[in-house]
Amino acid sequence: MWLDLRSLEERLSTDFVGRRIVYLTSTPSTQDIARAEAEQGAPEGTAVLAEEQTAGRGRFGRAWVSPAGRNLYLTLVLRPPLARLRSLSMVAPLATALAVQDVSDLSPRIKWPNDVLIGGRKLSGMLVETELSGQTVRYSLVGIGLNVNYDIEEESEIAGIATSVKRELGREVSREEALAALLNRFEELYLQAGRGAEVHQAWKARLETLGRQVKVSFRDQVHEGVAEDVDPEGSLILRRADGSLLTIEAGEVTLRQ
């Protein structure tokens, strides 16, 4: 069943996030539509929403499996000050984890920097694409994919590494409720991120990466060590075998057993 936008709107308590919705039944990627919207001056908080993506994109050039009518695929157009840009990588996964908690009794964890997991399997991922003009953010596109009512255990290619709310909960949840919770949480945290350390602390408290032996890959480099901490900007601080510390801004973590 397609999303009921009226029921979504009734549940929204935001001032600007999701107050303008561009809704598509099918599109290659909401990121591309959001980029065109942003270029045309779309107001901050515009949400591009699709029932299905035929070429959904993940991080590191991967695909994001996006079947119709079961999950949530959205991209938010934001224009944060440059100093708050990196907080988006904390706001988005934390808002998603809290939204899932709001509509279920599940308590998702976060794998640094912004994968949302349950039982080690990925429930949600985000992709942030930013256009700068010198030191000014022209716009930032925060793409979120959340597996809601997907019968993912039937998908042999990803069943081992990915999950959905339905799989974890054993029943379906309302996508309108989940989306409204996500937009409400997002705005609350986005505004809070400009005011102090609370968002960072809440994000850090959900990280399942800290204290673990990890391998971090980024571009052609791989670093190994213990994930000792995260700094206020969200970078990972790795303690290497020789005792030295390395601060890593971005990358993909593999947790070592």
What residue ranges bind ligand BTN (CB under 6 A)? 29-31, 53, 56-59, 62, 64, 73-75, 115, 125-127, 143-145
Q: In the bound complex, what is the minimum distance in angstroms from residue 245's beta carbon to ligand BTN? A: 27
Which position's Cβ is nearest ligand BTN?
125
Tokens of 86: 């990196």
**Which among 221, 200, 224, 212 has a CA at the least distance from the CA of 255?**
212
Smaller CB separation from ligand BTN, 62 or 138: 62
Measured from the CB atom, the residue of 115 and 176 that comes closer to ligand BTN is 115
Q: How far is the CB of 134 from ligand BTN (least distance, A)?
A: 27
Residues 214, 215, 216, 218, Cα dihedral to 10°:
-170
H helix and E strand count, the chain:
6, 12
Q: How far is the CB of 63 from ligand BTN (least distance, A)?
A: 9
Cβ proximity to ligand BTN, 67 vs 192, nearer residue: 67
Closest separation in Å from C-beta 187 to ligand BTN: 18
Asked if residue 116 lies in contact with residue 124, where contact means CB atoms within 8 angstroms, the answer is yes
Q: Of the two residues 65 and 226, which places its CB atom closer to ligand BTN in the complex?
A: 65
* C-alpha to C-alpha distance for 7 and 165, rounded to whole angstroms: 20
* CA distance between the termini of the chain: 41
